[in-house]
Structure 1
């Protein structure tokens, strides 16, 4: 991971090998030139100096060894120089440098130090399927030097053992470095993938949180504000009729009572909004225990709606002038009550059904049915006649005298309710047939 100062993890990029530094900024290493870092430049310089010094020492030793042909002694410094100079290009062209240095390393003693770095570099930067055959070629190329120098002196066995150990040792060292670098790159890729997954999960969580906020705000406020609209509309209608002389004027007591009702509903809307925000700010707000949530600081609990609260919801609708019939004779909740979250979902379904009926079919009779029991399904059904002109209406309004709908809506209530029901593993259905609109939710109700 790189910050603004060019630091990767705990190490600056300049102190990393070029391959790791390139990978740390998301640059692909394969198929493109890897720029040499400061660390690479220092290492290359030290390797070149070390290879030259080791070559000079080995050259002096080789010149004093008896049995070395004169022509090979004269050619030795040139071969050693070629091998040492090739070190500067070993990073970008590892395989080519290894093949070019093959005659020098196999025949020249002054190329001994450069050969260490070139063999190790082969194992570091070239995959095994290509580096192993080249290593075998190096072992085979030592045969001419063995025949020219070692056989006349009679130390064949010692020379073979030293040559094999020389090549295998530095090849194994390079292989270990390659494995370590591949591991680092793999861990970095996994870390990058994990960061990307974390960012994706965070975005999904934020979207889910926004959807939860939208559901709660709609379910709570739309219902309460629609009641406010009905009360205020009734008050305005009575006042207009009184001004037109077609109805008696409202008394001070009636105006005060209507204002109290409106004020009470507005106060209740604020209280329910506070409870919604309390739930959303509480960790695990969707999965309460016992239907309550606490924030851990004030020690307060926000009660969640239950099945028995549906009666109070129906009474509020009736008090606003909405005719509602409530039936729960088929509900066997006393045997094994549904989970609090399921009860809350059913409550929200009834709330949404009453709100929609108030908006789109004002004055129409609404029927609310609850049914089901443990081991089956928990069902809730809200139905009301379709207003005149609605799709599915048989022509004429099912509720004579119903005025045109005047309460605006966001149109997202059924979408949010469907999400709630699906989270509980249930199914939400709604249709308008034979002049009746029906909203039905079915939730699984396990026996245990």
Structure 2
């Protein structure tokens, strides 16, 4: 549950700065330069086309009022249809095919509309849909044929305008396909970047959860032992009203001393987990006698048999074995006070170190302090990390904890 909360906290904290979509809105500058280029092209086409039509039909600009009606309205119609094409362009991103077809159709009556139609065709090509490209291409071809039919003088080359228009359309489609592919590539890279950020956040969350678990396990191992000793001595003061002043003072001194040691050991744990470069040594089986002596001072009866050269154990194995003994006797003190405790440690290099802690049926019962239920689970994880085996459970009316740890002969303490 803690890990999930941390992961959700980290992942939901990610806020992509831009939507990973190739259809995102253009910037103001991006739109401005496109329209500027289109207007310049439209003006150039307007001048060239209008001059070519007047020349093809031998029209004198000074006598244009004497020409047919369509010649008279041609300059104005070119401007109006060109502006209509430009006015429809802002909607090309919402309805790309419709705007591209409409702009191409207007070219049937206005060559000036070719500038806006080219931009609409480019925008439609960025979608890279073959069917829409084919439809727009057919409309362009038809528009070129119609424009050539009414604007060219009889007998002139009829294929010039359609070829120019289809070449322009091919260039627009090529640019559109390139732009569309580039946008999709950028969108893909953005998606991968966001996924990489999420994966990195999940790895950080998992590392934090692991570190918190390690801190909780170390604090449990250290504080549970000391606090259980304090609880035992405080319980004795509470239930034993016949204690002498000297015994009461001794019990109070033991409570104070264990409280002080709990604080010192807690500080050592935080030093180890917080600064790996300045860590204090963690207890090993070298401190086994001190642990058993504290347990006996708490009123417990402990019988220990050590049939192994524990001073030759590797550090990590010795630390794990110490934690197994510490947690086991702490559990006996909390849940089976007054019970006889037996400890057996045996093994040899190149083989298996076996640690067994068991207790008989308790002779009396008092209210036990609350427990987390994670002590034995933490021991099991410690042992499994070292490729060992762990078991615990009731046996002969009592409770027995066993751990088998590999003792590699090549390693020395």
- Shorter-chain TM range is 0.7 to 0.9
TM-score by length of 1: 0.71
Partner of residue 259, structure 2 = 266
Structure 1 residues 33-432: aligned runs within 5 Å: 38-39=28-29, 42=32, 46=36, 49-50=39-40, 52-66=42-56, 77=78, 79-105=81-107, 108-124=110-126, 126-134=127-135, 136-137=137-138, 140-141=141-142, 144=145, 148=149, 149=152, 152-154=155-157, 156=159, 162-235=164-237, 238=240, 240-242=241-243, 249-250=244-245, 252=246, 254-282=247-275, 293-295=276-278, 301-329=279-307, 334=312, 337-338=313-314, 340-372=315-347, 377-385=352-360, 398-400=361-363, 402-432=364-394
Whether the aligned pair in 2 keeps the contact of 1:359 and 1:406 (CA below 8 Å) is: yes
- Name whichever of 322-331 and 345-354 sits farther off: 322-331
1:305-344 deviation per Cα after TM superposition (whole angstroms, max 9, x unaligned): 223333432232123322222234267884xx44x34432
Aligned residues: 381
Q: Tell me: CA distance 1:447–1:58, structure 2 relative to 1, closer, same or farther (3 Å).
A: farther
Give distance in 1, aligned partners of 2:222 and 2:84: 84
| Cα displacement (A) at 1:81 | 4.4
Q: Tell me: CA distance 1:408–1:159, structure 2 relative to 1, closer, same or farther (3 Å).
A: closer
Q: Secondary structure at the match of 1:274?
A: helix
Higher RCO, 1 vs 2 (CA within 8 Å, ≥6 residues apart): 2
Give distance in 2, aligned partners of 1:375 and 1:164: 85
Give distance in 1, aligned partners of 2:404 and 2:19: 50
| Cα displacement (A) at 1:255 | 5.0
Q: Which one has a larger percent helix, Structure 1 or Structure 2? A: 2
1:371-399 deviation per Cα after TM superposition (whole angstroms, max 9, x unaligned): 455666544322112xxxxxxxxxxxx34
List runs of 5+ in structure 2 lacking aligned partners.
1-15, 60-67
- Name whichever of 412-421 and 65-74 sits farther off: 65-74
List runs of 5+ in structure 1 lacking aligned partners.
1-22, 243-248, 283-292, 296-300, 386-397
Whether the aligned pair in 2 keeps the contact of 1:62 and 1:109 (CA below 8 Å) is: no
| Cα displacement (A) at 1:91 | 1.9
Whether the aligned pair in 2 keeps the contact of 1:106 and 1:138 (CA below 8 Å) is: no
1:231-262 deviation per Cα after TM superposition (whole angstroms, max 9, x unaligned): 34445555x125xxxxxx45x4x555444433
When the two chains are superposed, the root-mean-square deviation of aligned CA atoms in Å is 3.8
